[in-house]
Amino acid sequence: MMRPIRILTVAAAIASFSICSVGAQTDSTQKSIASATVTKDSVPQVDYNLVHERMKKLQKEIPLNHNDVTHQYVEFFTFRKPSFVKEMLERKALFFPIFEKYLAQYGLPDELKYLSLIESRLDPKIISHAGAGGLWQFMPSTGRIDFKLRIDKYVDERFDPYKATEAACKYFLQLGRIFNNDWEMMLASYNSGPGNVSRAVRRSGKSSYWDVYPYLHKETRGYVPQYAAIVYMMHYAADHGIKPDTVRSIAAFDTIHVNSYMNLKMLATAGQFSYDKFRQLNPQILTDVLPEDTRRYPIRLPKEELKHFYAHRQEVMLSATQSPFAERTMLASNTTSNESDEDQDAEAKVTTQSKRLSHKVRRGETLFSIARKYQVADAQLKNWNHLGRHNKIHAGQSLVIYKQVDVSTQPTATLAKNTTKASREDRLSKVRKYHTVQPGDSLWKISQRYGGISIDKLKKLNGIKGNDVKPGQKLIVI
C-alpha cells in the first residue's frame, strides 16, 4: 500500500528560517514589514531593479508587489533553493494542465496555479504535520464536509489532482466573497484561514495585506511574497542559471467506472498494464482493493498499455472483481405455481467455496482454451500457476485450478418436518438462485458475477426482451 508522504509544507519550511531586519526603508508600506524573513546580506544579490521591472510585466489579475521582502525570496529561491525551483520546473507539466482547466472553468486567474508549488511542491500525496493533504493542502474535515471529498480507508480524494483542484477553486470563490476579491488577502486566508486574517484586520484597523502584515502569523507574512517570488522564478529561472534536466508530463489515460469489489493489482496483472503507472494516475486510492459497495467510482488506466485489456475486457474484469472470500447467501424458493405458501417460504442457503482441481495439459490446448473450459479468467490461471506474464504451457504439464462451487445447506425446519428425505433432496435439486439488481448493474455485470452465465440465458430465464434491468428487479441467475 502506498502511503502519503508527511512533511512540512514548503511555505512552513521556508518560514522556519530565522530572519533579520532588512535595514532602512524609504516607502511607508515597506516600513511596516521591517521584520523580514531572509537576511539581505546572507545570500548573493539579484539585480533589484531588473526584478522590479519584470514583475510589473508579469502581473495580471493577482498583484505581484515587489518590495524588499519579495526580493529576498527571489534571492532565496535563486541561491539557497535552486534545487526546489529546478524540481518545480520538471514537475509543473504534470499538473498545470489540470489546474488551468479548472481555473478557467470557475473564472479564476490562471496564475493561481503557481500557488500549489508553495503549498505542496506539486506532490499529490504530501501531508503536513497538521494533517493537511494533497496538492492544495486540505484538512480532512474541510475536504469531507465543506467540499464533499471522499475520505475513508480506501480513498482520499484530497490526493486526487482533479477533484482537489476543483475543491480549491470553490474555496477561492468563497474567499473572494469574504474579502471582496482582494487577492493578496485571499492568498493569506488560504494559508491561515479567513478567521485569522479577519482578526488581523480588526487588530490593525486596516484592510490591505501590507497594512495588516505585522499582525499576521509568521508563516502567513511570508506566504504572499513567496507566491510573488515563485511566479517570477517560474518565468525567469533560466536567466539565473536554473534549468530542468527533464520535463515530466501527464500520461494519457482512459477512465473506467467500478461498480463492485475490485482487486486493483489483479486488474493490472490480468490487463497486462503497469501497476506502478496505475498508482501514479490514481494517487487518491490508498489500498490495493475497492470494496463491495463501490458504485460508479472512476479509475484511470494507462492508455498506452491497454491493448490486452480491451481485447480481453470481460475476462480481465471477471478476474479482478471476484472477491477471494466471497460467500453468497440466497433465498431458495420454488417457482411452481401450485405449491403451498409454506413451501414457497422454505429457505436454503447457497454458499460459494473454492475447490482445488488439477488439469493435465493436452496437445493443442492453450491457456485461453483451458480457462474457457473451467470458466475462469486466463489471468487467474497464470496467477495460480506462477506463469508470470507469458502464456507458454506444454503438453503433459499439470495446472492447478480453483473452481468456485455452490454448496447448499438443508432447508428450514418447517420444510424438514413436512417432507421425507427423498422429497427434501428433490426440492434442493430445484433450488434457484436470485439476484436483486443494484444501481449500476447490467446484464453483463450480473452474468460475470455468477460464474459466467451467458447474457442470452439470463434473458431467457427471466423473460427479458431488451438489455435493460432496473434496480430492485429480482432475476433468476441459475
Pick the most confident of 207-221, 330-344, 423-437.
207-221
d(CA 231, CA 62): 11
At position 52, the amino acid (one-letter code) is H
pLDDT of residue 343: 38
pLDDT top residue among 418 and 57: 57
d(CA 296, CA 255): 11
d(CA 389, CA 309): 13
pLDDT of residue 14: 54
What backbone torsions phi and psi does residue 320 show, to the nearest 5 degrees?
-80, -20
pLDDT of residue 459: 81
d(CA 325, CA 210): 61
* 101-113 residue pLDDT tens: 999 999 999 999 9
d(CA 477, CA 331): 12
The least confident of 293-302, 320-329, 347-356, 371-380 is: 347-356
* 388-415 residue pLDDT tens: 666 678 888 888 887 665 554 444 444 4
What Å distances lie between residue 457 and 16, 268, 451, 473, CA to CA? 68, 30, 12, 17
d(CA 324, CA 328): 12
Average pLDDT of the chain, as a whole number = 81
What backbone torsions phi and psi does residue 401 show, to the nearest 5 degrees?
-135, 135
The DSSP code sequence of 166-198 is HHHHHHHHHHHHHTTT-HHHHHHHHHH-HHHHH
pLDDT band at 46 (very low <50, low <70, confident <90, very high): very high
d(CA 127, CA 124): 9
- Residues 327 and 349 sit within 8 Å (Cβ to Cβ): no
C-alpha cell at 160: 486526487
d(CA 184, CA 195): 15
pLDDT band at 356 (very low <50, low <70, confident <90, very high): confident
On the question of pLDDT at 430 being above 50, the answer is no
Q: Domains of the chain, with CATH numbers?
A: 5-240 (1.10.530.10), 253-321 (no CATH), 433-478 (3.10.350.10)
- Percent of the chain with pLDDT strictly greater than 90: 55
d(CA 149, CA 163): 8
pLDDT of residue 344: 37
What Å distances lie between residue 62 and 113, 137, 175, 196, 326, CA to CA? 12, 21, 14, 21, 55
pLDDT band at 16 (very low <50, low <70, confident <90, very high): very low
CB atoms near residue 173 (< 10 Å): 14
* 315-351 residue pLDDT tens: 899 889 876 544 333 333 333 333 333 333 333 344 4
pLDDT of residue 239: 97
C-alpha cell at 261: 469489489
pLDDT of residue 390: 63
